[in-house]
Chain A
Amino acid sequence: MKINTEQRNGALVVHFKGEIDHSVTLEAREQLDELIDRGGFDYMVIDLRDISFMDSAGIGLIMGRYKKLRLDKKLLYLRNVTPPVDKILKISGLYKLVNVI
């Protein structure tokens, strides 16, 4: 999985590309946490347009970043959720915590 970021109007937009499973989450978590710690944004948006596969490891990754951002009183949003990822997000109840924009 690759992660690209851009900052726009107070948002840190994180673009995921590839497959999210347990083999990639540790590295992704470190990259994202470094960005969160660096700050300089008001809220984070994770763009899932180019995610070809995601299992519960992705749920853990998103949930963990939601919790970390919440400590800084910042919100996390998702964008461009594909149908297979939407199914996993619904099953896990993640939409109760994170909104799609």
Chain B
Amino acid sequence: MENRMELIIAATSLNESFARATVGAFTAQLDPDIETLSDIKTAVSEAVTNAIVHGYDSDNEKDVVLKCAISDGTVTITVEDGGKGMSDPEKCQEDGFTTAADDERSGFGYTIMKSLMDEVTVVSEVGRGTVVTMKKKIR
């Protein structure tokens, strides 16, 4: 079975729950167990929150683009923003790293994404934005 969908949401934290619920509903066609579904929703929440908070500084005039594709029992999720980008994406993926310490961001977003998904890649360019691609084999 192959399938795909695309979702464009305003960069407001109110859309975090909508984004993860939508990806969860789309992924449900592969009949994942509850734990797998929870892992995917959590990883999506982290990536979308990063796009909103770090990419766009919560500017709800901007768009976050979420793409999901299912192929060979694997779901591939892409979260794209055209925001600030990162000069050193590797550094941003270290445990406890955050540029928003005052906001009490824990700095574990990427650690959680990498722990819960099979594969996470980050492509980012300063001034151009960030694309996070995550994969998880379901069956």
List B residues 104-130 near A (Cβ within 8 Å).
Answer: 104-109, 111-112, 115-116
**Bound Cα distance from A87 to B108, whole angstroms:** 13
Residues of chain A within 8 A of B107, CB atoms compared: 56
**Bound Cα distance from A80 to B81, whole angstroms:** 37
Contact B52–A21 (Cβ < 8 Å): no
B residues contacting the other copy or chain, number (CB 8 A):
27
By DSSP majority rule, is chain A's interface helix, strand, loop, or mixed?
Answer: helix
Q: Does B46 contact A (CB under 8 A)?
A: yes
Contact A55–B112 (Cβ < 8 Å): yes
Residues of chain B within 8 A of A88, CB atoms compared: 42, 112
List A residues 44-75 near B (Cβ within 8 Å).
Answer: 53-57, 59-61, 63-64
**Bound Cα distance from A25 to B17, whole angstroms:** 13
Contact B41–A53 (Cβ < 8 Å): yes
Q: Which one of A23, A53, A57 contacts B105 once the chains associate, using CB atoms below 8 Å?
A: A57
Q: Does A83 contact B (CB under 8 A)?
A: yes
**Bound Cα distance from A60 to B95, whole angstroms:** 13
Min CB distance B94 to A, Å, is: 13
Q: Does A2 contact B (CB under 8 A)?
A: no
**Closest B residue to A62 using CB positions:** B106
**Bound Cα distance from A80 to B17, whole angstroms:** 23
Q: Does A5 contact B (CB under 8 A)?
A: no
Q: Does B133 contact A (CB under 8 A)?
A: no
Contact B45–A83 (Cβ < 8 Å): no
B-side interface residues toward A, CB under 8 Å? 13-14, 16-17, 20, 35, 38-39, 41-42, 45-46, 49, 52-53, 95, 103-109, 111-112, 115-116
A-side interface residues toward B, CB under 8 Å? 19, 21-23, 25, 29, 53-57, 59-61, 63-64, 83-84, 87-88, 91-93
